[in-house]
């Protein structure tokens, strides 16, 4: 877990129960939905110019495109959101639990009080995004792009980072000790101040081209 001082408590999605169970067809041609529950369904039509507020999605597959959709107080449980585009969008107080987000785009998005639990984010892209109080737990983050990211209160807990890029992104005081950083891709300016184990430090030294040679008497 991160060791940042005075990290604010993660704010959970604010849901007003009971939610109204609704078919995903209700989302078609809407610009705002609130207080709805969607289960065991597939969204096979595009979503655009929509704000989703105070809703839950369980075992829902997003099989079409998504453009200009904002999320506030939303829970996704066992959903497939692969290849969706959240570029330049607002995602606040949202939980992604046991979700598939392969190739999902978060370029220049704003994420605040967001938690990813047991998710697959392979090939997703967070370039130039703003992350505040965001947590990734037990999540596959292989080949994800974190380039030029601005963050405050960011947590990685038992994640994997094979071929994951952190370029032009400060990792100072960011704790990777519980995660697998084998194959992580970093630039020298980003690595300064990151928190790692002694074993991970050896891995990073090789990545940065440092030759370790013990002196024997």
Residue 216 covered by a domain: no
The range of the structural domain enclosing residue 113 comes to: 81-203
Residue 129 lies in a domain: yes
pLDDT at 217: 44
Does residue 8 fall inside a structural domain? no
Dihedral sign of CA atoms 43, 45, 47, 51 in order? negative
Asked whether the beta carbons of 111 and 131 are under 8 A apart, the reply is yes
Residue 197 placed within a domain: yes
- Give the alpha-carbon dihedral of 95, 136, 143, 161, to 10 degrees: -160
Whether 186 and 149 map to the same domain: the answer is: yes
Q: pLDDT tens digits for 115-166?
A: 999 999 999 999 999 999 999 999 999 999 999 999 999 999 999 999 999 9
pTM above 0.75, yes or no: yes
Are both 173 and 189 inside the same structural domain? yes
Answer whether residue 64 is part of any domain.
yes
The CATH number of the domain where 158 resides is what?
A: 2.160.20.80
- Domains contained in the chain, number: 2
Last residue of a domain, one of 80, 96, 130: 80
């Amino acid at each position: 877990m991160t060791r940042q001082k005075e990290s604010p408590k993660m704010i959970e999605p604010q849901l007003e129960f009971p939610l109204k169970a609704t078919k995903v067809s209700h989302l078609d041609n809407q610009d705002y939905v609130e207080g709805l529950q969607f289960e065991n369904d597939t969204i096979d039509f595009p979503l655009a110019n929509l704000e989703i507020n105070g809703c839950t999605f369980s075992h829902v597959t997003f099989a079409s495109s998504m453009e200009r959709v904002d999320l506030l107080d939303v829970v996704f449980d066992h959903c497939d959101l692969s290849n969706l585009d959240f570029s330049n969008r607002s995602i606040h107080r949202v939980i992604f639990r046991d979700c598939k987000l392969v190739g999902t785009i978060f370029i220049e998005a704003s994420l605040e009080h967001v938690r990813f639990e047991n998710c697959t984010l392979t090939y997703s892209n967070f370039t130039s995004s703003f992350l505040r109080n965001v947590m990734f737990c037990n999540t596959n983050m292989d080949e994800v792009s974190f380039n030029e990211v601005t963050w405050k209160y960011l947590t990685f807990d038992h994640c994997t980072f094979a071929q994951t890029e952190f370029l032009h992104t400060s990792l100072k005081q960011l704790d990777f000790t519980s995660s697998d950083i084998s194959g992580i891709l970093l630039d020298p300016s980003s690595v300064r101040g990151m928190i790692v184990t002694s074993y991970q430090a050896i891995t990073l030294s090789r990545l940065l081209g440092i030759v370790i040679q013990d002196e024997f008497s």
